Structure 1
């Protein structure tokens, strides 16, 4: 391997590393700030003392969250919705993408056009709501998972990846007695691990961060996902801040309520799972985002 040791190359390396360190700092600071605020007192945060380390260290916010029960219950709901939703989305997306990637599928182009139409047009908010209600999905798990089961963008990525697998492999498998399902499960999927982990991460993050569907289709507060509960806490915090500014509530009374610390504690809990999962699938994600960038 030839290494460029020229002065211009060293300067470029320094600039690249400096820029990357700056990007890293900009990315990490909000996370560290949320972490610090969740373990700090509300009074210290309101006085602007909290930066990226806790001030007046306190576990009060996490104790309040645990005692109230709403956040732990919502966390488990989000885990359920994310797990079920991601599983359904991956099964449907990979199955359809594989079928559309094979030239032997009759009317393949027509099906692809129909799929693409749904990417740009939909029935609208009210018709979707009425449809969910008439199908008996309202206030159920399926209302949050089935309507968004297939992302056309993710479908196109998977289709492109499957198209890169030579169809000669399918022909060889046919000669050995394999059928389409066997080829899909035992050949196509194992050869597409990078794409599967990448698309799986996209779906998981989308389901985990979703709150609007819960706002529309869930009426039972015990079924709310974590992001919905976080939204309620943020709204309550903003209303209290407006009350303080209007003089209706004193700053000391707001500090006693401790909504600010609870808000940041809930926010930190909400971003924690995705931060823990990503390092384990990072190598697949890096390969997956390069899908279609190289031809050879």
Structure 2
């Protein structure tokens, strides 16, 4: 015979649902319950308002010209059409520029992470001589810079024009990201580093074997920040690159978008096809640009909030 102390699965489930009743707890008041419902509705409304523009862009990207021009496209595509996708994706220059963007983003993010991590780790040590001077110089650059023309002259003088270095080096360190990482390293337990030093690890060994493996959250967050910044960047390439074969995809899509708003024909093979391309090229270009980042974000999202908070909250 099963004693009364043994609870059946049904009873355990009921206790989880009605825990206050079984445990004698206090039920939520009506005002608090109303607050929770109102808070939930408000959050859902904010999420919908945030997603609505993006969903509208997706709908327009797959809609036909007539429905777009008449303003009938809302959240669902009408007159399903992929002519613009075919025109853009069928261009060999698009894929060449897309490959350039991948290379620029990977190389630039790797360089930025190495420089930012080492710079932040070094300046997180309070015993470092001249630390305040270096931090002051870094913060100064957040508010003042040489300007567009001096930067252009510098890049041209260094021979970086029409090279990958004109894209990946000028913005290699973001001072905001540097300050976040510095704050994180300042809160890192010193006992771990001291123990590693006693075991014979050098400064570089401590950074590589102790600090970095325990800093995955903030590193993943910084990688996301840098990758998004370099992926979406177009003005630097537009300024320093003259060869179309070196353009990133953002410049290609920018030029395509500019062509559709001008008086010149797109050369899409016919007036009807050209009109279709012109009608939703904005939506298609935005979708093609943001899609890789959307695919990357779910893998990094779990580190995102904790990474920023770890580097911005004093212990």
**Match of residue 106, structure 1, among 105, 117, 129:** 129
- Residue in structure 1 matched with residue 28 of structure 2 by the alignment: 5
Shift of 1:191: 1.4
For the residues of structure 1 that align with 2:133 and 2:156, how far apart are their CA atoms?
30
Shift of 1:103: 2.2
Query: How many residues are treated as equivalent by the alignment?
Result: 287
**What is the match of residue 247 of structure 1?**
none
Shift of 1:235: 2.0
Q: Could you tell me which residue of structure 1 aligns to residue 290 of structure 2?
A: 271
Would the alpha carbon gap of residues 176 and 65 (structure 1) be closer, same or farther in structure 2, given more than 3 Å must change? same
Determine if contact 1:65/1:72 at 8 Å carries over to the other structure: no
- Aligned to 2:197, which of 151, 160, 174? 174
Query: Which residue does 1:140 correspond to in 2?
Result: 163
**Shift of residue 294 of structure 1?**
4.7
From 236, 240, 247, give the equivalent of 1:217. 240
Gaps of 5+ in 2: 1-18, 20-24, 266-270
- How far apart, in 2, do the equivalents of 1:221 and 1:4 lie? 67
CA distance in 2, matches of 1:183, 1:35: 47
Task: Say if 2:92 is the partner of 1:73.
Answer: no
Cα distance, 1:76 vs structure 2: 1.7
Change in CA separation of 1:240 and 1:55 when aligned onto 2, cut-off 3 Å:
farther
Alignment partners' CA distance in 2, 1:132 and 1:231: 23
Which range is displaced more, 123-132 or 26-35?
Answer: 26-35
Query: Could you tell which deviates more after superposition, 17-26 or 143-152?
Result: 17-26
- 2:64 maps to which residue? 41
Alignment check: 8 A CA contact 1:73 1:222 kept: yes
**Cα distance in 2 between the residues matched to 1:126 and 1:291:** 38
Q: For residues 29 and 209 of structure 2, what CA distance do their matches in structure 1 show?
A: 50
Alpha-carbon distance change, 293 to 141 in structure 1, aligned in 2, over 3 angstroms: closer
Do structure 1's residue 151 and structure 2's residue 151 form an aligned pair?
Answer: no
Cα distance in 2 for residues equivalent to 1:260 and 1:145: 34
Kindly report the root-mean-square deviation, in angstroms, between the aligned alpha carbons of the 2 structures. Answer: 2.2
TM-score (norm 2): 0.85
Q: Which residue of 2 aligns with 1:249?
A: none
**Deviation readout 1:128-157 (Å, 9 max, x if unpaired):** 001101111101111011000000110000
From the superposition, tell whether residues 228 and 275 of structure 1 become closer, same or farther in structure 2 (CA, over 3 Å): same
Larger of the two Rg values belongs to structure: 2
1:27 and 2:50 equivalent?
Answer: yes
State whether structure 2 residue 83 is matched by structure 1 residue 54. no
Pair 1:194-2:213 in alignment: no
- Gaps (5+ residues) in structure 1? 244-251
1:94/1:53 Cα in 2 relative to 1: closer, same or farther (>3 Å)? same
Measured in 2, the distance between the counterparts of 1:104 and 1:262 equals 56
Render the CA deviation track for 1:25-74: whole Å, top value 9, x for unaligned. Answer: 11211211111111111222112121111111122111111222232222
Answer yes or no: is 1:261 the counterpart of 2:284: no
CA deviation after TM superposition for structure 1 residue 122, in Å: 1.0
Partners in 2 of 1:273 and 1:94 — Cα distance?
A: 25
